Homo-oligomer: A and B are copies of this chain.
Amino acid sequence: MQEEYKKHISSRFDSELESLCNQFIAMGGLVEQQVSDAVVALIEGNLELAKAVMEKDDVVNDYERQIDERVELMLAKRQPAAGDLRLTLMLSKATTDLERIGDEAAKIARVASQMDSQGHSPRGYSESRNLSAQVCNMIHEALDAFARFDLEHALKVVKTDQKIDEEYASTMRALLTYILEDNRYITQVINVMWVLRAIERVGDHARNVAEQVIYVICGEDVRHIDIDQIQRRVESQSEAQKGR
């Protein structure tokens, strides 16, 4: 997949920007793996894996630092204009989101470690696995949309986030009802609630990345705009592209 990304990007940008894009995508792949590993560590009670995720957060942070340095250098030395400038700014913003995704993964791993001593929750694991699979897919799709400059893919990520938020809210209600009825596992269930919230945040950050991708492609800021409006804008852009 990474190979295919590279092909798409190299046809579009010069080598310096291309290399920056590839580093961004590599960072995205890493944080996607971190989230996935953290949730597996939780569900399987795998302490080794939890520890590995926490340790690898340093690698995520290094990526962020390096990308930001390169963005600054790019702006200082090459003074990119128009689309290249938007892309550079997008990388700067979206890298922050990837780093925060890494933070959430490390938090989940930390809860996974605690639960080994505090005991496991009788509820909420399958929902965690299910939601985490979906948000990992969102990260993947957002990177894919970025690499292919694919508006519709990016829009799909934004839409999925709405669905995630609804599933998250209903799962939280169910868990709350559960501890109200049977309070033997309050601590453990609340731990799972923190995990679910972290996963929901990952979805928010993946959505932010997708919105930044839309900004790069369309040159329009679609943050804080409701989804139907985004859809209409994307459609009119697609029409315009086809008409070329």
Q: Identify the A interface with B (CB < 8 A).
A: 58, 61, 64-65, 68-69, 71-72, 75-76, 79, 81-82, 85-86, 89, 92-93, 96, 176, 179-180, 183, 186-187, 190, 193, 197, 221, 223-224
Residues of B within 8 Å of A72, CB to CB, are: 85-86, 89
Please report the C-alpha to C-alpha distance between residue A71 and residue B215 in the assembled complex, in whole angstroms.
14
Residues of B within 8 Å of A96, CB to CB, are: 93, 96
CB distance from A216 to the nearest CB of B (A): 12
Q: How many copies does the complex hold?
A: 2
Residues of B within 8 Å of A86, CB to CB, are: 72
Residues of B within 8 Å of A68, CB to CB, are: 89, 221
Residues of B within 8 Å of A71, CB to CB, are: 89
In-complex Cβ contact of A64 among B179, B180, B223 (8 A): B223
Residues of B within 8 Å of A221, CB to CB, are: 65, 68-69
Please report the C-alpha to C-alpha distance between residue A187 and residue B92 in the assembled complex, in whole angstroms.
40
CB distance from A45 to the nearest CB of B (A): 21
Residues of B within 8 Å of A81, CB to CB, are: 76
Residues of B within 8 Å of A76, CB to CB, are: 81-82, 85
Please report the C-alpha to C-alpha distance between residue A231 and residue B211 in the assembled complex, in whole angstroms.
37
Q: List 17 A-B contacts (CB under 8 A).
A: A61-B223, A64-B223, A65-B223, A75-B85, A76-B81, A76-B82, A89-B92, A176-B187, A179-B186, A180-B183, A180-B186, A180-B187, A183-B186, A186-B186, A190-B190, A190-B193, A197-B197
Residue in chain B with minimal CB distance to A208 = B96
Please report the C-alpha to C-alpha distance between residue A74 and residue B136 in the assembled complex, in whole angstroms.
35
Closest 7 CB pairs of A and B: A61-B224, A79-B79, A183-B183, A65-B221, A76-B85, A180-B186, A75-B85
